[in-house]
Structure 1
């Protein structure tokens, strides 16, 4: 009996050790306006790993969505927003490093994406902590043509991305300037509700919107991969 138990234990440990990990990592953001689940992109590993590290440390818990602009985005992650006084200007807080830009032509500012905020630096390196989630607006082809000639500085918006911008919306003017590194896969209505909240002249919500950020466990991530059709074959 003891030998059988030992054999079963070894087999269990072996299976666990060689079980395929989830293909994607997911995080959950909770607020008083609801919650959402975000898939972090593997194509942007520096941003993915930095966000996971901070989330596991509990860094984001208690920070605010401190800047909201309807039909544009909601921004959060400023460490100075913890315990910030009413009306206090926010948006300048950060840690003592930046994350190198990770631009990818397949990742763009469609509605629901997670992207990195940044200051005005020539490398377009990202803030270590601050991020935004796109609410955005719908575009016409004429709008996109004008952006190509102006803000996008000659970058062409491919037809498959134009279809997203025409039907779902986004913030196309930010493409090739800010790193996109994830997308909301559940709970996008949370973003819409926060974006519609009453705010002051500095775009800070009149009532604080604190968040908690949780890194989902492997089992949950594998279930989401399966649900979204993204599991390893």
Structure 2
């Protein structure tokens, strides 16, 4: 009997501990559940917003994927006209089909809203106006989100730099192959043209309506750096479907 008492004591202690553990695992009564940080509707909205953010930021253009992307992008393009509404009026450009990378790049950036609220940041009287850049955080953010890449020149399709031609400048980085800066463009105003540019820059379209607006932009006062004294905005660029 004396040997059985310690065993009985240990058994009772074990049962008491088990009961305590079971009590600690019980759920709180319904009215005492801890409050959630968000209700089910907020959680659903958060999920949709996260999905949207993922969709808009999941793909970024790079030097490695840009050519393949635009090669495939241009296959289904049925459009070739873009209207640019500026703070001095609007004009329309028609893009050439046989320069597919530059055409599809311009339409892609237009559809992404890149050109909206950029500027004509360079004006050379009786020569060109150049647009697609701006000294603001919004433009820098858009470039980061779209990606960092250059486009190869495509100068052997017979397109010359006639008056009204839209063309793409080469990048300002160390660039012996004259790769194009995809975010910017220039329009020739010289009459009949600036043919010394042929072979060095890719002409990818022409102004078909509103050349008088382009001429007005080319006549604005500029500073020593060829920046207009008063900002000239591209308020909206839209693809004409």
User: Normalising TM by the smaller chain, what interval?
Assistant: 0.5 to 0.7
Partner of 2:217: 194
TM-score (norm 1): 0.63
Distance in 2, Cα, partners of 1:133 & 1:62: 18
User: Could you tell me which of 2, 9, 28 is aligned with 2:83?
Assistant: 28
TM-score (norm 2): 0.61
Q: How does 1:105-184 map to 2 (within 5 A)?
A: 105-119=157-171, 121-137=175-191, 169-184=192-207
Distance in 2, Cα, partners of 1:198 & 1:26: 30
Tell me the CA shift for residue 96 of structure 1: 1.2
Matched, 1:214 2:231: no
Moved more, 116-125 or 49-58: 116-125
Partner of 1:54: 109
Distance in 1, Cα, partners of 2:112 & 2:77: 21
Name the Cα RMSD after superposition. Answer: 2.1
Aligned residues: 157
Deviations 1:52-97 (A, max 9, x none): 111001001000000001110000112x43469xxxxxxxx89510
Distance in 2, Cα, partners of 1:58 & 1:208: 19
Distance in 1, Cα, partners of 2:223 & 2:137: 18
CA contact (8 A) 1:62 1:82 kept: no
Structure whose residues are more often helix by fraction? 2
Which structure ranks higher in relative contact order (CA pairs < 8 Å, sequence separation ≥ 6)?
A: 1
Partner of 2:24: none
Larger radius of gyration: 2
Query: Where in structure 1 are there 5+ consecutive unaligned residues?
Result: 1-20, 85-92, 138-168, 218-233
